[in-house]
Structure 1
Amino acid sequence: MTVKDLATLTPSGYPAVSLLMPTHRTPPDNQQDPIRLRNLLTETRRRLEADESVPADVAAAVYDEIAEAAAHVDLRQVGEGLALFASPGQVHVRLLETPVHERVVVADTYEIRDVVADAARRHRYWALVLSEQPTRLWSGDGSTLVEVTTHGFPFTHEGPGGTQGLPRDYGQNPSAHRDERHRQFFRDIVTGLTQVDALDTRPVFVLGVERYLAFFSAEWTAAIAGTVPGNYDHSGPHDLHRILAPHLAAYQAFEQIAALEHLDVARGANRYAAGLPEVWQLARQGRGAHLLVEEDYHSAAWIHDDHLHPAEQQPTSAPAGTLVDDAVDDVVELVARQGGDVTFVGDGSLATDGRVALILRY
């Protein structure tokens, strides 16, 4: 799911259960993760059963959904956090690369702020490995790659010049025939990739020998985020991420530079906001077109009377203020919910803007 998809994630009805817990990559800390998950599931069951507005059969069904999803999570292959969401007939699982505060929430909506912020910080992409036997498409999400097996993928070249071999008719030009069959093969690949990308548009990285890269480039009319020449037919997900890592970093740097240039243009047009309080206020009004945030910027804050105050300045007038543990993540969710873009930039890039800036729609 994209950042915007996550921001509009809607439960099927009440109760909407959100279970969030920090996880650990290595021992001895990760040895406690299964125990913590069991405890949170016990708390989930207790809250559902204690909620008089939830029929017993609905409470049992929602609990079973979230418990079954948890049972399929391999806690040896996680990042920094786990999020489980369930409502009647619906369940979602997200493995997070950023830590979360442990909690169970039963409400009308899902607690998705941490998940949206995590997704915005991660780089999602398509990795297309060109080959005749076969061409494979991988869905990249940070360091995790999962093979796509829809829309024709993986593609195998089965016609003449592929598994059938070249024709031996002296009246034909075998080389020209092979090239035409290759062009058709790559047209089919482009059709499949176009369909996948239309559902979830991401930067496309292409790996393959020079000849295949040339055939693909002749058919693919959209931008290519990066090309990696070479034979990677037998590379698994870990090897592919290692190979792609410098290209992903270069593309991410390019995106950050472009976002900062757009911010400069918005400054010149006086169509931007800077600093967390002002950005938070305008984001709540739905005016955020593009949010820029420094990578490691987090900030607790008080919300009081529709205004944001620094954590060290607790409001004293009525009504009482509400302390949020990270107002930055709140702004990320607000902008994403309203269809805006979010770009995380290097620390220090927004030093004169209070570490966060917002390009305004108007």
Structure 2
Amino acid sequence: MTVKDLATLTPSGYPAVSLLMPTHKTPPDNQQDPIRLRNLLTETRRRLEADEGVPADVAAAVYDEIAEAAAHVDLRQVGEGLALFASPGQVHVRLLETPVHERVVVADTYEIRDVVADAARRHRYWALVLSEQPTRLWSGDGSTLVEVTSHGFPFTHEGPGGTQGLPRDYGQNPSAHRDERHRQFFRDIVTGLTQVDALDTRPVFVLGVERYLAFFSAEWTAAIAGTVPGNYDHAGPHDLHRILAPHLAAYQAFEQIAALEHLDVARGANRYAAGLPEVWQLACQGRGAHLLVEEDYHSPAWIHDDHLHPAEQQPTSAPAGTLVDDAVDDVVEQVARQGGDVTFVGDGSLATDGRIALILRY
């Protein structure tokens, strides 16, 4: 799911249960994760059973949904966090690459700000490995790659010049015929990739020998995020991520530079906001077109009426304010829910803007 998809994640009804916990990749810390998860499930059951607004049968059904989903999570194959969401007849599991605060929330909506912020920090992409036997497409999400098996993928060149030899009596120029068959093969690949990318547009990274890269580039008219020459026919997902890592980093740096340039244009047009209180207020009004946030910027804050106050300045006037763990993640969620873009940039990039800036729609 994309950031915008996550921002529209809605429960089927009350109760909407959110279970979030930090996880660990290595021992000895990860040995406590199963215990922590069992304790949070116990807390979930207690909360549901104690809620007078939840019928007993609904409480039991929602608990069973989330408990069953938790039982299928392999805690040996996790990142930095785990999020489970359940409502009547519905359950969702998300493995996160950024830590979360441990908690169970029973409310009208899911507690998804950590998941949205995690998705915004991660980078989704397509990795196309060109080959005649076969061409494979991988869906990349951070360090995780999953092979695509739809829209014709994987493609195998089975015609003349591929698995079949050229006819012996074919004219005086068999190489020209072979090249035309190759061009048709790569046209088919481009058609399949175009269909996949139309459903979920992402940067495209292409790997293959120079000859195949040339055939593909001649047919693919959109931008290519990066090319990696070489034969990677037998590379698995872990190998592919290792190979692509420097290219992904370079592309992410390019995205950050482009976002900062767009911010400079908006600043010149006086169509931007800076600093957490102002950005938070305008994001809540739905005016955010593109949010820029420094990678490691987190800030608890008090929400009082329609204003945001620093954590050390608790409002004293009625009504009582609400303390949020991280108002930055709240802003990320708000902008994403309104269809805006979110880009995380290097620390120090927004020093003069209070570490967070918003390009406004109007």
In 2 relative to 1, CA 186–57 (structure 1 residues): closer, same or farther, beyond 3 Å? farther
Query: Are residue 300 (structure 1) and residue 331 (structure 2) matched?
Result: no
Distance 2:198 2:19 in 1: 31
User: SS state of the match for residue 223, structure 1?
Assistant: coil
RMSD of equivalent CA atoms: 1.3
SS of corresponding position for 1:263: helix
Give distance in 2, aligned partners of 1:146 and 1:216. Answer: 22
Tell me which moved more, 271-280 or 89-98. 89-98
Superposed CA offset, 1:119-166 (max 9, x none): 001111111111111111111111111111122211111111112222
1:177-230 deviations in whole A, cap 9, x for unaligned? Answer: 221221121111111111111111111100001111111111111111000000
In structure 2, the residue matched to 1:358 is 358
Distance in 2, Cα, partners of 1:59 & 1:165:
65
CA shift at 1:276, angstroms?
Answer: 0.4
- Name stretches of at least 5 consecutive residues in structure 2 with no aligned partner: none
Moved more, 110-119 or 81-90: 81-90
Question: Number of matched residues?
Answer: 362
The residue matched to 1:17 in structure 2 has which SS?
A: strand
What residue number does 1:9 align with? 9
Q: 1:76 to 1:217 in 2, by over 3 A?
A: same
Residue 193 of structure 1: aligned partner:
193
Q: Secondary structure at the match of 1:133?
A: coil
Give the superposition deviation at 1:82: 0.4
- TM-superposed CA distance for 1:50, in Å, is 3.2
Q: Secondary structure at the match of 1:323?
A: strand
Q: Report the CA distance shift for 1:58/1:152 in structure 2 as closer, same or farther (over 3 A).
A: farther
Q: Which one is further off, 207-216 or 37-46?
A: 37-46
Distance 2:294 2:148 in 1: 32
Deviates more, 1:101-110 or 1:266-275: 101-110
Structural mapping, 1:280-291, within 5 Å:
280-291=280-291
What's the offset of the Cα at 1:172? 5.8
Deviation string, structure 1 residues 280-318 (Cα, Å, up to 9, x no partner) = 011111110100000110011111121111111111122
Q: CA deviation at 1:43?
A: 2.1
In the TM superposition, 1:1-362 aligns within 5 A as: 1-171=1-171, 173-362=173-362
Q: CA deviation at 1:169?
A: 1.7
How many Å separate the matches in 1 of 2:61 and 2:152?
Answer: 36
TM-superposed CA distance for 1:71, in Å, is: 1.8
User: TM-score normalized by structure 1?
Assistant: 0.97
How high is the TM-score relative to the length of structure 2?
Answer: 0.97
Cα offsets for 1:10-50 (capped at 9, x unmatched) = 11222222111100011000001011112212222232333
Give how far 1:53 is off: 3.3
* 4+ residue segments displaced more than 6 Å: none
Worse-matched range after superposition: 111-120 or 46-55: 46-55
Deviations 1:241-276 (A, max 9, x none): 111111111111111111111111111101000000
Give the drift of 1:341: 0.5
Task: Tell which deviates more after alignment, 281-290 or 82-91.
Answer: 82-91
169-178 or 146-155: bigger deviation: 169-178
